[in-house]
A and B are shown apart, each in its own frame.
Chain A
Amino acid sequence: MTTGDDERRPQLSRRRLLMGGAAAGVGAVAAVGVDAVWRSSSSPAPPLHGDETVSFHGTHQAGVTTAPPAHATFLGLDLRDGVDGEALRRLMQILTDDARRLTDGRAALADSEPELATVPARLSVTFGFGPRFVERAAGTAARPSWLRPLPAFGIDRLEERWSDGDLLIQVAAEDPLTVAHAVRMVLKDSRSFATVRWSQTGFRRARGSERPGTTMRNLFGQVDGTANLAAEEFDRLVWIQEGWLAGGTSFVMRRIHMDLDEWDRLDRDGREQSVGRRLSNGAPLTGTQEHDEPDFEATNSLGFPVIAEFSHIRRAHSEDPDEQILRRAYNYDLAPSGEEVSDSGLIFGSFQADVDRQFVPVQRRLDELDLLNKWTVPIGSSVFAIPPGCGPDGYIGETLLE
C-alpha cells in the first residue's frame, strides 16, 4: 500500500502547532514563550512519529489506501429522527472541519482538550454513508444498488449491536490517545444529529515494532493480508469513476469472532492446512517465501492437492481479475466473560468499487466452504459508501449534499 500521502512534519512547524493551540485557547503569550525556548535549544530534537501527518485533502479520502496505522476505532452512528439533508450538510461541515484540524495536529474548534490534539501521529478520519444517510440526503435515486445490507450468509450470526449504521467514522492513528481524543471530538459534534450505534476498536503491531510494510498478523498467529490489491489496481478496482461517488469507494465491514479456545486444540499442521499457508512466514504451502505465488494445481504423493480444497486461500482466491478486493483488517481483543478466556477476532474491512461485483462472490464462496469457518463467526456486518475526498475549502459529502 502507498505511504505517499504521509508527510514528515518539519520541526519548524512545531511553532505552528503551538500557535494552533494558542488560537484554540492556550494563552498566546505562553505559546510564544515556549516557542522561543524551543528555538534557542542547541541540540536538534529527534524526529517524532507523533509529528507525522497524513494529508486530509485530496481526490480520495485518507484511510483507504493509506498504510494502516497501529490503532483504529470504527464508529457506526444512527441519525436522529428529523435530521434532513440540510442538517446533514451542517453535520458534515462540522465533522470535516474537526477532521481537517485534528489530522493536521491542530485543536478542533471548541476543543476542550486542545493539548491532546498536538500529536497527530498519522491520524486519518474517514467518513462513510449508510443507505439511510444517502436517502435522507438526496433521495433513493442517489443510493447505489450495492448500498444495502449484504445478502444473508449461512455462516452469519449477526448481532444488531455490531451491524449496519447510517454514518461511519473511521478514526485511525499510530497513537491510541490521539485516536481517543479525535473520537471524542467527532462524537461530541455528532451528538445533536446522531446516536452511537456501535464503536469497534482494533489494533495492529505498534509503530516501530516491525519494519514498515510488514504484513500484519491476526490473533490466530497467521500472516494476514499477503495477497492484496496492488497500488496499480486502485484506480480500476477501488475508486469509483462516476456520479457523486467519483473518487470514492465502498466499504464492507465484517466483525468476525475468532474462537481462540477451539483454535488451540488444532495442531500446527491443521492450522496451516486450513488456510493453505505457513504460519512461520505466510508462504503458500507450495512455496517458501511469503510472496511466492500459490500453486493450486500442485498435489502431494497421495494425489491430494497441497493447498486443500477446503482451505481459505483456495476458496477466497479468484481467477477473475475484476473480482478482487482491498482488505484492511484490524484485530480486536475484548474482556472475556464467563468461562472463556478471550473474546477476540477480526474487524475485517474491505474496500472495492462495487460490493456486488467484487466482494459478494468471494464471501459467497467462503460461505459455501472454508475450513476457517470452523473457528470464525461473523457477528457484525455493514456496508458504507465512502464519498470522495475534498479540498481545503470543501467538505466530505459535498458531492451528495450540494
Chain B
Amino acid sequence: MRTTTTIAAIAAATTLLLAGCGGEEAADSEASSSLSMSDPWVKSADDGMTAAFGELANDGDDDVTVVAVTSPASPMIELHETVDDGSGEMTMREIEGGFVIPAGESMTLEPGGNHIMLMDLTGPIAAGDEVTFTLELSDGSTLDVEAPAKDYAGANENYEEGETDHDMGDMS
C-alpha cells in the first residue's frame, strides 16, 4: 500500500497507468486512454468503511463509464452517490449504472456527492499512506490511480444498506 513515490509526483503527474490492454491499435480506442483522474485522495480510517475522491475527466469523443473499482485496501468496493432520502437526510447508496463521464466532460467525486466507497478495510489507512485503486471501465479496460490518504472530518453520510454507525471512515 505504501510506496516511496511522493504525493506531489502523483498529484502533479496524475499517475495513470494503462493496464490490461490488447494490441497497440486497440489501446487507442480503449476508454481508459481518454479517462484521467486528478487530485485523488482517500479518507484515512482505522477500520470499517471509508471513501475515495478526485476529479474524473474524459477528454475523448465517447462517454466513459466506470463500472467497478478494486483496491488491495478493501475486498469490496462500491460506487456511491449521495441522495436526499426524502426526510431531508443525505444518504449514500450504490449508483446504478456506474459513474458515467460524458465525452469531453468531467465528474467530481467529493464528500457529500459521488464517491468510491471502500466497504471493508483490510487494515488501517493512515494519513500520508498511498492507496492504489484500479478503475474498471465498461469496455473492459482499466485505469490505475494512486491516492494519498488524508485525515478528514467530513464525509459522514449514512449508508442506506448499512448500519447507521458506518460512515466514510472513522476519525478517532
Chain A residues within CB distance 8 Å of chain B:
22-25, 27-28, 87, 89-91, 93-94, 96-97, 100, 109-110, 112, 188-189, 191-193, 392-395, 398, 402
Which listed residue (B11, B44, B55, B152) contacts A97, Cβ 8 A?
B11
Taken together as a complex, chains A and B put the C-alpha atoms of A25 and B152 apart, in Å, by 14
A90 / chain B contacts, CB cutoff of 8 Å: 126-129
B91 CB to nearest chain A CB (Å): 20
Taken together as a complex, chains A and B put the C-alpha atoms of A25 and B151 apart, in Å, by 17
- Nearest first, the 9 A-B pairs at minimum CB distance are A90-B128, A110-B150, A97-B7, A393-B9, A109-B41, A25-B110, A23-B55, A23-B39, A110-B152
Which listed residue (B8, B12, B150, B152) contacts A395, Cβ 8 A?
B8
A193 / chain B contacts, CB cutoff of 8 Å: 127
Number of B residues near A (Cβ < 8 Å) is 29
B167 CB to nearest chain A CB (Å): 15
Which listed residue (B6, B9, B151) contacts A188, Cβ 8 A?
B151
A27 / chain B contacts, CB cutoff of 8 Å: 108
A24 / chain B contacts, CB cutoff of 8 Å: 39
B55 CB to nearest chain A CB (Å): 5
B7 / chain A contacts, CB cutoff of 8 Å: 93-94, 96-97, 109, 395
- In the assembled complex, B154 has its CB within 8 A of some CB on chain A: yes
B106 / chain A contacts, CB cutoff of 8 Å: 28
Taken together as a complex, chains A and B put the C-alpha atoms of A112 and B154 apart, in Å, by 8
Whether B6 and A94, one on each chain, are in contact in the complex, defined by CB atoms closer than 8 angstroms, is no
Taken together as a complex, chains A and B put the C-alpha atoms of A395 and B5 apart, in Å, by 11
Using A22-B55, A392-B8 as known contacts, list a sample of 14 further A-B pairs with CB atoms less than 8 Å apart, ordered by residue number in A: A28-B55, A28-B106, A89-B128, A94-B7, A94-B128, A94-B150, A96-B7, A100-B8, A110-B150, A112-B153, A191-B151, A192-B126, A193-B127, A394-B8
Taken together as a complex, chains A and B put the C-alpha atoms of A112 and B127 apart, in Å, by 16
B148 / chain A contacts, CB cutoff of 8 Å: 93-94, 97, 109
Which of A89, A94, A109, A189 gathers most chain B CB within 10 Å?
A109
- In the assembled complex, B38 has its CB within 8 A of some CB on chain A: yes
Binary contact readout B1-40 vs A (1 if CB under 8 angstroms, 0 otherwise): 0001011110110000000000000000000000000110
B105 CB to nearest chain A CB (Å): 8
Chain B residues within CB distance 8 Å of chain A:
4, 6-9, 11-12, 38-39, 41, 43-44, 53, 55, 105-106, 108, 110-111, 126-129, 148, 150-154
Whether A110 and B41, one on each chain, are in contact in the complex, defined by CB atoms closer than 8 angstroms, is yes
Which listed residue (A96, A189, A392, A395) contacts B127, Cβ 8 A?
A189
B4 / chain A contacts, CB cutoff of 8 Å: 402
A159 CB to nearest chain B CB (Å): 30
A192 / chain B contacts, CB cutoff of 8 Å: 44, 126-127, 151
Whether B38 and A23, one on each chain, are in contact in the complex, defined by CB atoms closer than 8 angstroms, is yes
Whether A395 and B6, one on each chain, are in contact in the complex, defined by CB atoms closer than 8 angstroms, is yes
Chain A to chain B contacts (Cβ below 8 Å), 11 pairs: A23-B38, A90-B127, A90-B128, A93-B6, A93-B7, A93-B148, A94-B127, A94-B128, A109-B41, A112-B153, A392-B12
A304 CB to nearest chain B CB (Å): 60
A98 CB to nearest chain B CB (Å): 9
A191 / chain B contacts, CB cutoff of 8 Å: 151
B66 CB to nearest chain A CB (Å): 17
B6 / chain A contacts, CB cutoff of 8 Å: 93, 96, 393-395, 398
Taken together as a complex, chains A and B put the C-alpha atoms of A393 and B8 apart, in Å, by 5
Taken together as a complex, chains A and B put the C-alpha atoms of A89 and B106 apart, in Å, by 33
B10 CB to nearest chain A CB (Å): 9
Taken together as a complex, chains A and B put the C-alpha atoms of A206 and B120 apart, in Å, by 52
Taken together as a complex, chains A and B put the C-alpha atoms of A375 and B11 apart, in Å, by 51
Taken together as a complex, chains A and B put the C-alpha atoms of A392 and B106 apart, in Å, by 25
Whether A96 and B8, one on each chain, are in contact in the complex, defined by CB atoms closer than 8 angstroms, is yes
B83 CB to nearest chain A CB (Å): 17
Taken together as a complex, chains A and B put the C-alpha atoms of A100 and B39 apart, in Å, by 13
Taken together as a complex, chains A and B put the C-alpha atoms of A110 and B154 apart, in Å, by 9
B126 CB to nearest chain A CB (Å): 7
A392 / chain B contacts, CB cutoff of 8 Å: 8, 12
Which listed residue (A22, A89, A93, A402) contacts B108, Cβ 8 A?
A22
Taken together as a complex, chains A and B put the C-alpha atoms of A89 and B148 apart, in Å, by 13
Whether B128 and A93, one on each chain, are in contact in the complex, defined by CB atoms closer than 8 angstroms, is yes
Whether A189 and B126, one on each chain, are in contact in the complex, defined by CB atoms closer than 8 angstroms, is no
B130 CB to nearest chain A CB (Å): 9
B43 CB to nearest chain A CB (Å): 8
A261 CB to nearest chain B CB (Å): 43
Taken together as a complex, chains A and B put the C-alpha atoms of A192 and B148 apart, in Å, by 15
A23 / chain B contacts, CB cutoff of 8 Å: 38-39, 55, 108
Q: Which residue of B lies closest to A97 (CB)?
A: B7
Q: Which residue of B lies closest to A100 (CB)?
A: B8
